[in-house]
Each structure stands twice: as structure tokens, then as C-alpha cells.
A and B are shown apart, each in its own frame.
Chain A
Amino acid sequence: MTKTNRKIQEIIGNLRLIWKEPLLFISILAIFYFLLTFVAFPIFQVFKTSMIISKQLDFSNYLAIFSKRYYFQPFLNSMILGICTATIGTTIGFIFAYALTRTTLSFKNFFRLTATFPIISPPFVVALAAILLFGRAGSLTPILTTIIGKYSIYGLGGLILVETIAYSPTAFLVLYGILQAIDPALEEASMDLGASRAKVFSTITLPLSTPGIASAWLLVFIQSMADFGNPMVISGNFRVLSVQAFLQITGMYDLSRGSTLAIFLLLPTLTAFFLQKYWVSRKSYVTVTGKPTGATIKRLEWYIKAPVYTCCVLFTGIVFLFYGMLVYGSFQTLWGVDATLTLKNYVEMFQVGKDYLIDSLTLSTLATPITGLLGMFLAFLIVRKKFIGRGLMEFVSMLTFAVPGTVVGIGYILAFNQKSILFPSVLTGTAWIIITLLIFRNMPVGVRSGIAALQQIDPSIEEASTDLGADSNTTFRRITLPMIAPAFFSGLAYSFVKAMTAISAVIFVVSGKWNLITVAVLGFVDNAAYAQAAAMSLLLILIVMVALGIIQLVVNRIGKGMRAIDIVG
């Protein structure tokens, strides 16, 4: 039998098996259709539009990247910003992770919570706080001016500051996992063989965590490049791609130029994503299993402790300062003019923002469970089922992770403001365009945690279910889903937080009928109504925290299923 013959026979065999499970077959087809329509098609539309100038196919937009200032400057600026933020953010993240895994630092839980807090807040609130602190009428502006002279928070410096605060937590989480997974016995062995603390660090700890560092760097780089909220608030004359693309489309109605800017934004983030996924992760020495290894020697010399602890305290202090400022600012009568404390901002915020708030809650609540279930089902198909196009399915479902929100948002208005072969109805202006965008944008994290959880679970448990007569869908519902419940709920929590705090993509698809709270906050900022913006941001953070609390409660209630993971893990 020849090789191709065999291959074909195997494919036919697989097809026949799938055919015997029509429900599975239909599910796979449906998911492919959704991924094609709501992930690939919009991105394709952005590419297509960027190549069309006055109804002609034309590549001159691309050729103009280095010659046209309105392309080159934002591209350069975004790259500089991304590189700086990634480098500083990763450094802080590493120091934090090191302090929490390798030292005897007190109040570790407190530090960990503070260090990750910016993750659950909307991306632009840090910028808002920066304006309250260091802006033209900032609380600390007079002091800072006497120290460093005249300065402006608007621009590259301010952006690096706020993005570092916003995205260091990402680096921290990656590196915390990596450092925790490095067996302390290796470091002990090195020390036992005569290495000094510094040598242990430079010959063992650092080399083993290098892939993690690279990974963290690339992830922060992607986030910084893709950031829209912070630059929108604080970039001033420092033009970055995401904001410029937005302004071109909503201000100038120049779809072609806006799309081109979006593509220039997409290319570096995609490159970073592929580097991270296919190159860095393959170099990894440690597998992050989520199971912490044993204790290590934590007696450290003062010259290591002092700078590490200082950095931790300083960063935590800054986080507190920023969010504290938000609280303080939200109670001021008129920012920069009248500092009398008042509740009127909250009243005003409610009057103006009530509808936005209800819309945000409604749409997020609708999108979240679908995102969670779909993510887990995709993970199940990808890890456990054999079918043609499985690799493609994984690739496409991960793709949105690397695609900046701006690109997705532009793609959605291009793809769904008219009927197409893929989707026979206009979605623009409806709630559905926001819901689908939220679903497909936030799904990759669920898919990823689902895949990670499934890989921990012996496939024979699901095989046992099939063996006893259950089909794939029943097995997924009754066996797989309960076992990966922790991943499912963390996926739910993540997608709710992201849905409530989303801005970069959704700002393109909101309408008079359906609007979102984050867009309202940006509106306040635009009108220099900083106190109301602060009040609304705080409310948003509060809602997110309550939601997280509820999900945590649910998780504790079904604790039986959670513990079950222990025996299979």
C-alpha cells in the first residue's frame, strides 16, 4: 500500500467516523463557519480595504510606509512605545515574580493582589489617574515641577509610565508561573556545588527563565502596541497607530488609510505572537503545570533583598497612588478649581451613564456564557478529536489574541455594514455585532486555559465514557466540562472582565442604540470631565469585582468538582 493511499484511507476512515456522529460533525462545521465569518472574514476585509484606493486595487499604501509621514511616524512611535513598555514592564514583572517565589517577603498575597489589580481595571483608567496626578491641573504637578522643571504628561513619557503600570501584571503572571515551576532543587544543587547567590542566579535561574522572559516581553509588546484607551487619553501629539487608525476612520472617513494603519499595527503584533507561540515556547525548559514545587532556601543577602523589596514596595505604592487618586478625584466638586468633596459626580454620572451601564451589563452578560462554553468546546475539539482542519481551527481561534482590537473593530464595520455571502444580514448598529465581537475577541483565553486543563486530564477518562456508549457531545457535557470546570469558570471571569472593560475594538461598533460604559468614560475624558470619568471608572471596577466575587462563590459552591481535579492532575 502506498503512502498516499494510506493517508487517503485514513482520512476516509476519520470522515466515516465523524459521519456516524452527525451532531459532532454539525458542531465542527458550525464552528468553522463562525470562525470564518467572525474572525477571518473581518481581518480579510481590512486587508482588502487597505489595498483599494478610489475603487482600484492599489498597493501604494504599503509602499508608502517609509515615505509618507502619516504612516511612518505612528509606526515608529508605536514600535518605540511597545519596545520601551515591554522592556520596563518585563523587568518589573520579573522582579515581582522573583520576590514572590524566591524570597521571604512579607505580605506576599497583598503584593500579588496589588501587582495584578490593573488587569481587572479598564485599560485607560491608569491614564486618567495620571492626568489627575500629573496633568495640567494635577495634584502632584506643582511638586514635580519644582523638582524636574516644566514637563508634560502627554506624550511618550506619560504613555510609557501608564502602560508600564497597566501591563507589568501580564509579565508578572507569566514569569510567576515560570519561576514557580523551576524546581528549587536545581538552585540548591548549584549552591551545593559552590556557586554564590549571584552565580546561582546567573547560571541557573536566569537561563531557565529566559524563554519565559522572552514570552512575557512579547506579550507586553503586543498589549502595548494594541493599546487604544491609554494613548487616546494621554498620547497628546505623540501619534500611535491605534489612535491614528481610529481617527482616520471615524474622523476622516478614510477607510483605506485607516485600514492600512491597522495593517501596520497588525504586522508587528502578529510577528510577536508567532515568535512567542512557535519559537519561544518551544525553547522552554519548564512546563507550567500550576503545581508549585517545594520550598527553596530563602535566606538572602541584604544587597539582593534591598533593591528587590524597594522595587516591589515602590511599584505597589504607585498602583495605590494611581487608584487612590481616582477615588479622591471622583469626589471633587470641580477638578482643578474646587476641591470641596461632593457626591454630585456620582449623581451626574448615573444620569448620563445609566443607559451605557445597562447596555454594558446586558451585552457582557449575554456574551460571557457563550464565550466560556464555546471556548471549552473548541479546546475539547482541538485536544481530543481528530478531524481535517483541526490545526486550522486552533490557529484561527488563537488568532484574535494577537490581532489588536483596532484591527478587529475596523474589520467588523467593514464586514458587517452590508450583507455578504457569509452573513446575509446587516449587523452594524445592532446588539449582535457587539456581542459577537465580544465573544470571538475574548474566546482565545478560554480556549487556551481549556487546552491546558485538558492536557492535564488523562484522555482515557473520556474514552471510558465513549466506551460506555456516550457520543462526543454527551461526553463533553457530562464528563469533560465538569472536569475542566475551573478552567471554564476562569474563562468566564476573564471574558466578563474583558467584555466590561473593552474599548479598542468595540468603539467602532457601538451605536446610538447600543453603547458601552467604557465609551462613556472616554466621552467624559474628552470633555475634560475628569471627576465624572473617575467616578464611572470606579463604578466599573466595582461591578467587575462583584462579578468576580460571584464567580468565585459559584466555584466554591461546586467545590466537589474542583477537588476532583486533584486526583487526575
Chain B
Amino acid sequence: MKQDYLVLENLVKIFGSGKDTIVAVNDVNLKVKEGELFTLLGPSGCGKTTALRMIAGFEIPTSGKVFIDGKEVSMTPPNQRPTTMVFQNYALFPHMTVFENISYGLKIHRESAQNIRKKTDKIIHLVGLEGLSERSPAHLSGGQQQRVSLARSLVMEPKVLLLDEPLSNLDAKLRVSTRLEIRRLQQRLGITSVYVTHDQEEAMTLSDRVVIMNAGKIQQIGTPQEIYAHPVNYFVADFIGKANFLEGRVVSLVSKNKAELDISGRKFKVFTLKDSFSEGEKVFLLIRPESVELEPKKSNTLFGIVRQIIYLGSRMVYEIEIAKSPLTVEITNPQEHKIFSKGEEVTVTFKEKSLHIIPYEEIKK
């Protein structure tokens, strides 16, 4: 397995000029392993689609390079790149049948009629479109159109499969089942894939690795677990999952990767991957809502007032006011716990292993 099968090197894309200049992709460096499903995740306008389109060849990088399997393709037109793309709206050819759509690329590459038939039928079987090959795309459901689009890309056996928010036009239920199907196919074929989405749940469930992007820049690269448990900054922590941020100060560095924090007078020992925090530095303590426990108020503990209660069946969400700042707490399986009511004072304890420190930054709300 090649470690750097797809490489983006100092990739920059600038659109427009003068006042309307937009830096869509700002110095992006990535290495995607062979056979890996790699997701570009970020809010809309973060540059993920532009990055994907530079891999496909639809945009020319302003600077930087793209390598696929060791060969530079930065200036290769899209029709000569070993990539195929699944488009957000599927982009099926409306005047062709399902079979014609899927076999289009093979025909362009002048494969023999026999080969075209064989490969197309095989892929139609693989994505479960049997019996629909003579239909027009207009007469397919959204999910079926999506599979035609996927099949049309897969049949080319591309070195890199590109997927641009392929599930965003499906309804919620279908999205969940389709993403599992895409993952199964991808793993079965062992095809290197780059997946663009703004849906963090999709990214988490599908990906081998995820890169979080914001304003054209890479924020963090890692496995879904790494990114959820150890986000590197406020943006990542806030974007992935729900998070509470408590302002605090580093009191002392206990050991190489453990620090003692002061949060409104109370001390916490916290693991940190980064040992770059210095004593006295202002930081954020990141607490996920599910890693907080509530008890009836005890003296000499951290406590707050319940301001709001939201019952969600499997979970109970409390909004607690603690030292004048809000704290969201999620209690799973609420039937097994004491239910607090609005206005009640509660003691708050944190599960220390899930605490995480990130650098402090001014938050614009």
C-alpha cells in the first residue's frame, strides 16, 4: 500500500482579482494513502469542493501541485486524469439510458463492445441496478440516480474516486443506508477515495481519515476518533460534535502531558497532547456534554443552576448556568438518573479522561 498515493503540495487557488479576490484554498498539503477513504470536511465556502475540483482537474491551481500515484497531474486536463467524480446532483446525461450513462466513459476510451457490455453489466450488478439499464434517468428515484452516478465513475476503475457531497440530495433515511453502501463498495474494491461533505456525522461514519478545513486552510487531519477526542483548536472542537468551552488558566504542568487548570477557583488535572502550554497561560477547557455528571448540590463542589431542560427520549439535555457561563449537559438513558427541575441547584462533575485543553482565542459570536 502506497503511503502517498494522492498528494496535494502547497495547493493554492485564488479566484477573482482586486476587491473581489477570494482565497478559496490556502496552502493545502495532504497525503492520501492507497485504498483509503479520505474526507474533506468543513462548512460551506471552506474550499473543500475547490480542492476536490483541483484534484479532478476542473480548476487549475493558482500555485502548488497535485500528484497521483507519483505522477504530477497539476496541468493535466480532467479528461486525461485517472480520476472520476460523483457529482452532487449526479450530473446524469438526461438523453441517455442508464446503460448508456454508465458505459459512456468506456466508449470514449474506445473499449471493445464486448468489454463494455461485460464491465457495465458487472458494475450494474454490483450497485444493484439490475433491470433498470434501459430506463432513462428521469424515471429513476433519487437513490437509483445516485447509484447510476456511482456506477458510472466506478466502471472506469479510476486511481482516485472523487465524491462531491454525493448524498446531499437524498432524504435522511436513504442517506444513512447509502453511505454504508458506499463505504462497503469502497472497501470491497479497495479504491482510493476523496469524499467532500459538510455533514460531520457522514464524515465520522465513512472515513478512514478526515481533514477539517476552514477558510481555505487545513485545521486538522486525523482519524474521526482523534479529531473528536483531541481537536487542536476552537474551530475544530466547535465544528465536530457539541462542546462546552470553559475559560481557565494553566496553574502548573504536572507532568509531560498533564496539566493542572484553574477554572473559576476550582482545580482540574487534565491530559493534553500538546505540551506547549506554559504556566499561567489562558486556555479553553473543552468539555463534551456527555462527559458531565449531575448530582444534587453538595457543599464544596462546582455547582450551577438548571436553566432549561430538553427531553429527547434517549437523552436529557440540561442547560446549566455555572459561574455566569452556560454549560450544556447531556444525560443518556435519563430514566436511570435523577431528573432535575428548572431552577434547581446541582453539583457538576467532569469525567477527567474526556477533558481536553485547547488554546484560548477571542470568540466572535
User: How many Å lie between the Cα of A194 and that of B94 in the bound state?
Assistant: 46
Total number of B residues with any Cβ neighbor in A under 8 Å: 38
Residues of B within 8 A of A424 (CB): none
Evaluate contact between B60 and A14: CB separation under 8 angstroms: yes
Q: Quick one: closest B residue to A463, CB to CB?
A: B58
Residues of B within 8 A of A464 (CB): 85, 87, 91-93, 149, 152
Taking the complex as formed, is A564 at the interface, i.e. its CB lies under 8 A from any CB of chain B? yes
Q: Interface centre among A1, A3, A468, A478, by most B CB within 10 Å? A: A468
Taking the nearest CB of chain A, how far is it from the CB of B304, in angstroms? 49
Q: Which of A7, A467, A469, A482 is in CB contact (< 8 Å) with B95?
A: A482
**A residues 549-565 touching B (CB-CB < 8 Å):** 560-561, 563-565
Evaluate contact between A467 and B17: CB separation under 8 angstroms: no
Q: Which of B58, B95, B137, B156 is in CB contact (< 8 Å) with A468?
A: B156
Q: A6-B14, A460-B91, A464-B91 are in contact. Are A567 and B138 (CB under 8 A)?
A: yes
Name which of A16-24, A203-211, A303-311, A314-322 contacts chain B.
A16-24
Taking the complex as formed, is A359 at the interface, i.e. its CB lies under 8 A from any CB of chain B? no
Evaluate contact between A468 and B105: CB separation under 8 angstroms: yes
Taking the complex as formed, is B108 at the interface, i.e. its CB lies under 8 A from any CB of chain A? yes
Taking the complex as formed, is B250 at the interface, i.e. its CB lies under 8 A from any CB of chain A? no
Evaluate contact between A468 and B91: CB separation under 8 angstroms: no
Q: Quick one: closest B residue to A4, CB to CB?
A: B17
Name which of B34-42, B70-78, B345-353 contacts chain A.
B70-78
Taking the nearest CB of chain A, how far is it from the CB of B105, in angstroms? 3
**B residues 278-330 touching A (CB-CB < 8 Å):** none
Q: Which of A465, A467, A567 is in CB contact (< 8 Å) with B83?
A: A467
Taking the complex as formed, is A9 at the interface, i.e. its CB lies under 8 A from any CB of chain B? yes
Evaluate contact between A17 and B87: CB separation under 8 angstroms: no
User: How many Å lie between the Cα of A279 and that of B133 in the bound state?
Assistant: 49
Q: Which of A10, A466, A482 is in CB contact (< 8 Å) with B77?
A: A466
Q: Quick one: closest B residue to A21, CB to CB?
A: B77
Q: A13-B60, A469-B79, A483-B95 are in contact. Are A458 and B89 (CB under 8 A)?
A: yes
Evaluate contact between B77 and A17: CB separation under 8 angstroms: yes
Taking the complex as formed, is B114 at the interface, i.e. its CB lies under 8 A from any CB of chain A? no
Evaluate contact between A564 and B62: CB separation under 8 angstroms: no
Evaluate contact between B94 and A469: CB separation under 8 angstroms: no
Q: B50-64 toward A: CB 8 Å interface, digit per residue (1/0)?
A: 000000111011110
Q: Interface centre among A1, A467, A471, by most B CB within 10 Å? A: A467
Taking the complex as formed, is B88 at the interface, i.e. its CB lies under 8 A from any CB of chain A? yes
Taking the complex as formed, is A568 at the interface, i.e. its CB lies under 8 A from any CB of chain B? yes
Taking the complex as formed, is A470 at the interface, i.e. its CB lies under 8 A from any CB of chain B? yes
Taking the nearest CB of chain B, how far is it from the CB of A21, in angstroms? 6
Residues of B within 8 A of A466 (CB): 58, 77-79
User: How many Å lie between the Cα of A65 and that of B87 in the bound state?
Assistant: 60
Residues of A within 8 A of B80 (CB): 20, 469
Taking the complex as formed, is A422 at the interface, i.e. its CB lies under 8 A from any CB of chain B? no
User: How many Å lie between the Cα of A17 and that of B80 in the bound state?
Assistant: 11
Taking the complex as formed, is B109 at the interface, i.e. its CB lies under 8 A from any CB of chain A? yes
Evaluate contact between B63 and A468: CB separation under 8 angstroms: no
Taking the complex as formed, is B84 at the interface, i.e. its CB lies under 8 A from any CB of chain A? yes
Residues of B within 8 A of A468 (CB): 79, 84, 104-105, 108, 152-153, 156
Taking the complex as formed, is A479 at the interface, i.e. its CB lies under 8 A from any CB of chain B? yes
Q: A460-B89, A561-B95 are in contact. Are A566 and B138 (CB under 8 A)?
A: yes
User: How many Å lie between the Cα of A21 and that of B138 in the bound state?
Assistant: 32
Residues of A within 8 A of B83 (CB): 467
Taking the nearest CB of chain A, how far is it from the CB of B179, in angstroms? 21
Taking the nearest CB of chain B, how far is it from the CB of A3, in angstroms? 6
Residues of A within 8 A of B152 (CB): 464, 468
Evaluate contact between A20 and B156: CB separation under 8 angstroms: no
Q: A1-B63, A17-B60, A460-B91 are in contact. Are A467 and B77 (CB under 8 A)?
A: no
Q: Quick one: closest A residue to B21, CB to CB?
A: A3
Residues of B within 8 A of A13 (CB): 60-61, 75
Residues of B within 8 A of A (CB): 14, 17-18, 56-58, 60-63, 75-80, 83-85, 87-89, 91-95, 104-105, 108-109, 136-138, 149, 152-153, 156
The 4 closest A-B pairs by CB, nearest first: A468-B105, A564-B94, A460-B91, A464-B91
18 sampled A-B residue pairs with Cβ under 8 A = A1-B63, A13-B61, A460-B89, A461-B94, A463-B58, A463-B78, A463-B91, A464-B91, A464-B92, A465-B93, A467-B78, A467-B84, A468-B84, A469-B109, A470-B79, A561-B95, A564-B94, A567-B137
11 further contact pairs, Cβ within 8 A, besides A13-B61, A461-B93, A469-B109:
A9-B62, A460-B91, A467-B57, A467-B83, A468-B79, A468-B84, A471-B77, A485-B95, A560-B136, A563-B138, A564-B94
Residues of A within 8 A of B (CB): 1, 3, 6-7, 9-10, 13-14, 16-17, 20-21, 458, 460-461, 463-471, 474, 478-479, 482-483, 485, 560-561, 563-568
